[in-house]
């Protein structure tokens, strides 16, 4: 059985240390998924809404179907703010022949968590950015006491850039500079906020070539997608099945159009599904998005893309080659900025030095 993947951990595996999985061995990858998305305080205080064993068994069943469809690796974009529980996911992963890659980061579309509200740059108490320290630790040492290291950074922006969202984006960029870890950003394609995310990340010196602008596939606006790609990032065509946001045929046509332009190397595919999400009353998710399930990409989406003219080589690029490049960041020594108030020019110099450029 595969275990939750430590992509760049070159130490020998042990009973409390998942085995490392080289990026070259990730195989077919869905680049933006979730196992569990939970409102953790509500789960704790409404115990009748959660059965640990039943939910775990259901997740195993769903992920086994995903693996049987040909998926080798699932990128779990669940970070703090989405009820991340790496130990829970690891228990599921022990029963499924699938690599699951963990994220660090914070999901917020408004304010920073209260835990960081009063300390950090520009706050009441000022000081170093504690979010960055947390992210770096989870990338370099592991998440809590699980022995599982995160392999990428996750952050979010919805319809507008708030001060809290900007602070998280900058903290993520700083962790990227110190570790080399790639970034995935939840964005609102209709509001075109992927561009704002790119600008903040770039102002901190981040390499936009190591960034996936998530949920870009929620729009058929090729002009917007070209801007994101021209800035150097991957675009996440990653919500197949959420037809309520954009019909599936338009999603397919958009991917096919970009592929015809030779841009398969800048797209990754997924469908942003979860084994369980508690954001909807029981049964509503299946009612409003009947195609939003784990085998939809391989059962319906890939055949539709082929029918639209996307070649096997292009599909392999989007499902195998691009994820491999994204996760091939060098496991270099952590480099700390001399001050948390370094200007962007100095941060860029630090990044270039760390990358050997």
pLDDT in tens, the chain (357 residues): 344 454 434 333 444 555 678 999 999 999 999 999 998 888 888 888 888 899 999 999 999 999 999 999 999 999 999 999 999 999 999 999 999 999 999 999 999 999 999 999 999 999 999 999 999 999 999 999 999 999 999 999 999 999 999 999 999 999 999 999 999 999 999 999 999 999 999 999 999 999 999 999 999 999 999 999 999 999 999 999 999 999 999 999 999 999 999 999 999 999 999 999 988 887 778 888 888 888 899 999 999 999 999 999 999 999 999 999 999 976 544 433 322 222 333 323 323 333 332
Strand, coil or helix: 84: coil
Strand, coil or helix: 277: strand
Q: What is the CA radius of gyration of the chain?
A: 19
CATH of domain 23-355: 3.20.20.140
Task: Determine phi and psi for 122, rounding to 5 degrees.
Answer: 80, 5
Contacts of 257 (CB under 8 A, 6+ apart): 222
> Alpha-carbon distance 248 to 70, whole Å?
21
Half-sphere exposure of 332 (CA within 13 A, CB side): 19
HEC string of 233-269? CEEEECCCCCCCCCCHHHHHHHHHHHHHCCCHHHEEE
Half-sphere exposure of 105 (CA within 13 A, CB side): 31
CB 5 within 8 A of CB 17: no
Among the listed residues 164, 81, 174, the one whose alpha carbon sits nearest the alpha carbon of residue 128: 174
> What is residue 209's predicted lDDT score, i.e. its pLDDT?
97
Instruction: Give pTM, 2 decimals.
Output: 0.87
Strand, coil or helix: 71: coil
Place of tokens 């784990």: 294
> What is residue 330's predicted lDDT score, i.e. its pLDDT?
64
> What is residue 19's predicted lDDT score, i.e. its pLDDT?
63
Q: Would you list the domain boundaries of the chain?
A: 23-355
Strand, coil or helix: 42: helix
Place of tokens 């080798």: 72
CB 172 within 8 A of CB 182: no
Interaxial angle between packed helices 222-230 and 248-260, expressed in degrees from 0 to 180 and rounded to the nearest 10: 50
User: What is each CA distance from 43 to 40, 46, 90, in whole angstroms?
Assistant: 5, 5, 19
């Amino acid at each position: 059985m595969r275990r939750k993947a430590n992509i760049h951990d070159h130490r020998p595996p042990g009973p409390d240390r998942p085995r490392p999985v080289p990026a070259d061995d990730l195989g077919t990858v869905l680049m933006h998924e979730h196992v569990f998305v939970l409102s953790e305080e509500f789960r704790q205080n409404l115990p009748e809404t959660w059965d640990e064993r039943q939910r775990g068994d259901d997740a195993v069943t769903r992920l086994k179907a995903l693996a049987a469809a040909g998926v080798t690796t699932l990128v779990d974009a669940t970070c703090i703010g989405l009820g991340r529980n790496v130990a829970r996911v690891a228990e599921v992963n022990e029963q499924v022949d699938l690599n699951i890659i963990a994220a660090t980061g914070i999901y917020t579309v408004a304010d920073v968590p209260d835990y960081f509200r009063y300390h950090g740059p520009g706050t009441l108490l000022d000081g170093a950015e504690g979010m960055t320290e947390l992210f770096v630790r989870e990338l370099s040492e592991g998440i809590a006491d699980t022995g599982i290291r995160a392999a990428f950074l996750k952050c979010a922006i919805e319809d507008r850039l708030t001060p809290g969202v900007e602070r998280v984006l900058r903290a993520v960029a700083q962790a990227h500079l110190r570790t080399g870890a790639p970034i995935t950003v939840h964005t609102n394609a209709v509001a075109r906020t992927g561009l704002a995310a790119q600008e903040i990340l770039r102002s901190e010196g981040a390499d936009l070539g190591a960034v996936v602008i998530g949920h870009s596939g929620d729009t058929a606006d090729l002009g917007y997608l070209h801007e994101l790609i021209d800035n150097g990032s991957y675009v996440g065509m990653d919500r197949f099945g959420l037809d309520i946001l954009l019909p599936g045929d338009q999603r397919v046509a958009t991917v096919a159009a970009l592929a015809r332009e030779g841009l398969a190397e800048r797209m990754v595919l997924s469908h942003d599904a979860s084994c369980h999400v508690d954001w909807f009353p029981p049964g509503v998710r299946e009612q409003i998005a009947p195609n939003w399930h784990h085998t939809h990409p391989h059962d319906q989406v890939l055949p539709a893309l082929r029918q639209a003219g996307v070649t096997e080589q292009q599909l392999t690029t989007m499902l195998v080659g691009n994820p491999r490049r994204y996760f091939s960041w060098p496991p270099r020594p952590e480099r700390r900025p001399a001050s948390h108030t370094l200007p962007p020019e100095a941060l860029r110099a630090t990044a270039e030095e760390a990358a050997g450029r």
